[in-house]
Amino acid sequence: NKKSLSFENKENGKKYQLSQNSETSLFVRPRGLHLDEQNVTYIGKEVSASLFDFCLYAFHNADIRMQHNLGSYFYLPKLENSKESQLWNSIFTLAETELHLPVSTIRATVLLETISASFEMDEILHSLKDHSLGMNAGRWDYIFSAIKRYRDVKNVTFPDRDQITMTVPFMKAYTELLVESMHKRGAHAIGGMAAFIPDRKNPEITEAAFSKVKDDKIREAEMGFDGSWVAHPDLVPICKEIFTDYLHGKDNQIEIVPSYQINADMLQDFKIKNSTVTENGVRTNIKVGILYIQSWLLGQGAAALFNLMEDAATAEISRSQLWQWLRNDTITNEGIAITSNYVESLINDEVTKIIKESNNELMLSEAIQLFKDLIFNDEFEDFLTLSAYKFLK
């Protein structure tokens, strides 16, 4: 509230602090509606994690922010439909009444990151009414959502994760629809996260990351987005320069309303030319899935793995792809059938490498067991965090 936001990692001694001259606006992302807060109960039942996060922040900060002529800003994740956004709107309205705040003091951007929500963009925006700031195009969560919803459809098998880019048909369609839907009603459309992480010790990796981010943000600006996300502070100048140049100094390009004419079939066009499932893709899913779950169990919700900022969504993709490949008679590009025995052997191989390359085996055995349960159990777990949450003390 006073530009005093800071964080210190006691394990490695690194400290992060917001500059006093920073133009950064603080947005709080409460947990999704699917989660409960196991440490707080009401009448014997765990309370909603979403309500817990929102209420705690709003109660302690909304009035102070008002004194600094600031509203309270939120990012709403994992919304599946407009019923959920209606619920959030009623929560915001009640909070403003109880805290004696003017209408619209509380504002929210919706993370459009589920395929079901892409069919209700207009309804979601309308339901938030005076509290809406627009929408942000989720990436990894959106891919996970598509895999989850279509996992049992035999003719829909998703390829290696790195082949599901923002330019494949179903991803391109939903982002174009998002820009059109938002601008049609004067709301902001924010681009997706660039997850590349520069390596300050390796100029070649950094240069490659910068190049990919630049191409990604140019594409978004040309599509009509008003701004975007990056995963690392070093990428902010690149993103900012591209949008500043493209918008000729304007704050946004809301006045441009494209006519992409997206329909339901286009949102479900999962055909990707020349796509494949490879052994490397299977191995990558195993490595990322296990290492991320280990990181999550150790309290680190975002983990830098292989020069990408990985969050729960990428681990969700990893385990859901393996779950689907195991049940859809998938054959790798090398001609190997993806069976339980095959995946188990690769897990053993990758775990051996992880142990050899890592100096931290805390919670590793728990992460491995949880990952195996998620891919081998016939019942598909909606969110891995529901199972992982039980391991937290």
Residues with active-site annotation: 29, 311
Name 305's bridge partners. 308
- b/e for 151-170, b at 16 or more Cβ within 10 A? beeeebbbbbbebbebebbb
d(CA 145, CA 138): 10
d(CA 199, CA 209): 9
d(CA 339, CA 147): 19
CA angle 31, 243, 230 (to 5 degrees): 35
Q: Are 169 and 270 in contact (CB under 8 A)?
A: yes
Name 134's bridge partners. 109, 188
CA angle 247, 251, 257 (to 5 degrees): 65
Distances in Å between the Cα of 66 and the Cα atoms of 18, 27, 52, 101 are 20, 15, 21, 8
Beta-strand pair 303-305/308-310: antiparallel
Residue of 78, 147, 140, 82 lying closest to 112 (CA atoms) = 78
Tokens for 267, please give them. 């949102």
d(CA 332, CA 339): 11
Cα 206–chain centre separation: 23
Burial of 281 (0-12, 13-18, 19+ CB in 10 A): buried
- How many C-alpha atoms does 350 have within 13 Å on its Cβ side? 22
